[in-house]
Amino acid sequence: METSTKPTVREEQAIVLDYLPHGYPFEHGAMKTAIVQAIGINHLTILELIPKKGIHLQPYHEVYIGEGKRDEIHHIKGRIPIDKLTSTAKSELVHAVEEIVGKHEDRFVQFFNKAQPLTMRMHQLELLPGLGKKHMWEIIMARKAKPFENFEDLKSRVKLLPDPKQTVVKRIISELEGKEKYQIFTG
């Protein structure tokens, strides 16, 4: 029997979506632990974290969750599906994703510069909401002349393109909700 050697995707930093100082309200028992629901910055993974004792966190706070010494997080409990997020975490998710896309704009602009065909009839660019064949070809022709530098450059060089930042954010949310066959941005 062959074992998979696929590397484990690890996050280094995460953005807090919700902090539950007394754990989940529906869990019973005397030993409730505090829970942090967060989204990883590199792979956009939704995670459940256990904070260190005495640490209180706010939404949008960035926490280190890598292999080294952690100041605020005791350990990573694991990945959680989007439907297990609290209502607060769900409402903060779009804002957190917008913040990640904005802070790491170059990473997402590179997608527009390097996207390739998936099949003979489908291109990665067409996976973005609001982008069809016409926009796909305009993007490909514009990037051949010169790679895009940022979202503004992309908007100015491709006519009638929907807001590229919001397009990326919508696609990420859709992937997190499990609505997409192809994962282009999420871990």
Task: Mention every residue, 6+ apart, whose C-beta is less than 8 A from residue 157.
Answer: 142, 148
pLDDT at 6: 43
Answer for the pair 59, 18: CB distance below 8 angstroms, yes or no: yes
Q: What is the pLDDT of residues 14-47, one digit of tens each?
A: 999 999 998 887 766 656 789 999 999 999 999 9
Tell me which CATH code domain 104-176 carries.
Answer: 1.10.150.280
Domain(s) of CATH 1.10.150.280: residues in the chain = 104-176
Q: What is the pLDDT of residues 104-148, one digit of tens each?
A: 999 999 999 999 999 999 999 999 999 999 999 999 999 999 999
Give the amino acid at 70: R
pLDDT at 2 over 60: no
pLDDT at 48 over 90: yes
| Residue 49 DSSP class | E
pLDDT more than 90, % of the chain: 81
Tell me which CATH code domain 13-81 carries.
Answer: 2.40.50.140
Domain(s) of CATH 2.40.50.140: residues in the chain = 13-81
Nearest Cα neighbor of 111 from 174, 187, 184 is 184
Q: Provide the sign of the torsion angle of the four alpha carbons 187, 131, 110, 17, taken in this order.
A: negative
